[in-house]
Amino acid sequence: MAKPRVICTRKWPARVEAELKARYDVTLNEVDVALTQDELRAAFDDYDAVCTTVTDKVDAAVMAAPGRAKLIAQFGVGFNNIDIEAAKKASLIVTNTPGVLTDATADIALTLLLNVARRTFEGEQMLRAGEWTGWRPTQLMGVSPQGKTLGIIGMGRIGKAMAKRCFHALDMRVVFYDAFPVADAGVPAEQLATVEEVLAASDFVSLHCPGGGENVHLINAARLAKMKKGAILVNSARGDIIDEAALVDALNSGHLGGAGLDVFEREPKITAALTKMHNVCLLPHLGSATIETREAMGMTVLANLDAFFAGRELPTRVV
């Protein structure tokens, strides 16, 4: 019996690719360049399962009339790159990889918070540029997070992991907003009624909500204005949550003290003004980028493929 045909739209960790080769008739992306929309559309005609990533725009046109594909297996927890309603209409099943990237992403959020608060990335740039002339009492003075208030928008797995790190390691007070009641935040934390209340109460704000839909530009000019003067904003969730033009204005005006961003509104394009600001730390979407995490993500995709082709319940089905 012929093996099911599977395609991966990007290069994956070697151990996962080896497992895929052993089980499926798999086409791997050896050059690791994103597929064009035409290539992606063709994949739905030629393969039983298409293994996508957040870099793929899986829109209604791509899924309009899939000739062969029955499964979209997303390598990632987020799936706002996939038109879910169009997938339903095309009778396509969608899976993702939740749970396995919680700690890695929370670590990056904490890294951004500390980098901006303590200005470590500025110091590193100073050293590399040969501009450091020795210790001075007023050099690169940042702000201490100890005892300050952390506001979290989205108290899911990653939000809870971030709260745990900041409460236990930095002695921070935690407040949060979530669209649903959260019975156990994992640490002492207060759920506030609105996003605005969290922004107004917080010295540091960390975003951990999904992108797309009603969350596009959730953090806009009006909400940035609600933040404390000098507050720091961190985003390791999805880039479209923040209106980057409004963020630039809030930073230029001095209203915000800084920002740490691992994701961007028009990724991989970066708003040019952000790259020129000394109080903005920018990372190239490293949230889940550990060997252990990326392998676990791939193995979760593999578990979904195995279950689908065996006719079993899928471990992490979205629709």
The residues, ordered by sequence, that sit 6+ positions from 156 with a Cβ below 8 Å of its Cβ are: 178, 208, 209
Specify the amino acid at residue 108: I
Pair 228, 250: CB distance under 8 Å: no
Phi, psi of 69 (to 5 degrees): -65, 140
Give the list of residues 6+ apart from residue 310 with CB closer than 8 angstroms, or none. none
Active site residue 255: no
15 is catalytic: no
267 is a catalytic site residue: yes
Q: Is the alpha carbon torsion for 56, 58, 59, 61 positive or negative? A: positive
DSSP 240-274: GGB-HHHHHHHHHTTSEEEEEESS-TBTTB--HHH
- Give the C-alpha separation, 309 to 4, whole Å: 8
Q: Residues 122, 196, 197, 267: which is the catalytic one?
A: 267
Cβ-count burial of 187 within 10 angstroms (0-12 exposed, 13-18 middle, 19+ buried)?
Answer: middle
93-95 and 49-51: which strand pairing?
A: unpaired
Q: Which of 238, 244, 265, 294 is catalytic?
A: 238
Beta pairing class for 190-191 and 93-95: unpaired
Beta-ladder partners of 49: 6, 71
Q: How far is CA 248 from CA 150, 245, 258, 276, 297, in A?
A: 22, 5, 10, 11, 34
Q: Name the helix (H) or strand (E) containing 113.
A: helix 102-118
Among residues 23, 217, 255, 285, the one annotated as catalytic is 285
Q: Is 164 helix (H, G, I), strand (E, B) or coil?
A: helix
| Interatomic CA distance for residues 221 and 32, integer angstroms | 37
Q: Could you give the residue numbers annotated as active site?
A: 238, 267, 285
